[in-house]
Amino acid sequence: MIYLVGGAPRCGKTSFAQYACREFGIPWISTDVLMSVARAYLSPDEIAERLPHVKSLGATNDEVYANNSIATIIDHYKTKQRGTVPAIKALIADTVKERYTFLLEGGHLFPELIHELLEEYGTDLIRSVVLVRSDTSGLANAFTQSTAEYDWAVAKTHNPETYAKIAEMVREFSAFFMEGAEKFKLPLVKTDGDLSQNFPTITAHLGVR
């Protein structure tokens, strides 16, 4: 079984993957890793066009969110998603043949792509869930309490006012994921508040045991 966990940034995808690995022994991989592998086979010009680094928008989150609109930042994410799709499809195609069991999580797993994979392989081989958030104030406050070993939102932010802008991006991007999940009738979980309280619901949607 392949478990797909998609959603906007900061909605708990990686945290849930770590939980599933710890509690159920399910191996997991991030689509960010697939993106990095794909970049290794592209020229600098191709990377800039298909899988641009965030530093193309700014060296820090403060610069990124001060100099770009949220729409531009979300479009940047969407460009990287389109560039990563071939790697995701190749991974799924090869591992389905061997009946591998693992969890794949990441913001590159847009609802339309999840739907396409489910249509091709069916729910006997693939299960999915989409995670979203809408509580911008709660999310912005959570940044200051992060205990993650590496947290991109914290490590690259020096001005606390930027947290509110990142939270607004998450809310707007979540709306995109929510609309897609509803369109394709995919399981959807809102992870506002205590993330760990949502783990049983996410687990149930995926059928993990």
What whole-number percentage of the chain has pLDDT above 90? Answer: 84
Q: Measured between alpha carbons, how far is 188 from 177 in angstroms, rounded to an integer? A: 9
Mean pLDDT score of the chain, rounded to an integer? 93
Q: What CATH class is the domain 2-204?
A: alpha beta
**Contact assessment for residue 173 and residue 9, using Cβ atoms and an 8 Å cutoff:** yes
Confidence (pTM): 0.94
- The winner for highest mean pLDDT among 39-48, 92-101, 173-182 is 173-182
CB neighbour class for 132 (10 Å; exposed up to 12, middle 13-18, buried from 19): buried
Long-range Cβ contact pairs of 197-203 (< 8 A, separation 24 or more) = 198/12, 199/16, 199/19, 202/5, 202/16, 202/129, 202/131, 203/20
Least confident interval from 82-96, 140-154, 175-189: 140-154
Per the structure block, which two tokens stand in for 56? 């193309």
User: Is the predicted pLDDT of residue 147 greater than 70, yes or no?
Assistant: no
CA distance linking residue 50 with residue 36, whole number of Å:
12
Structure tokens at 98: 């061997």
* Predicted confidence (pLDDT) per residue in 56-76, tens digit: 898 899 999 999 999 999 999
Q: State mean pLDDT over 142-153.
A: 74
In this prediction, residue 13 has a pLDDT band, given cuts at 50, 70 and 90, of very high
User: What pLDDT, on the 0 to 100 scale, is given for residue 146?
Assistant: 67
pLDDT at 149: 63
Average pLDDT over residues 137-149: 77
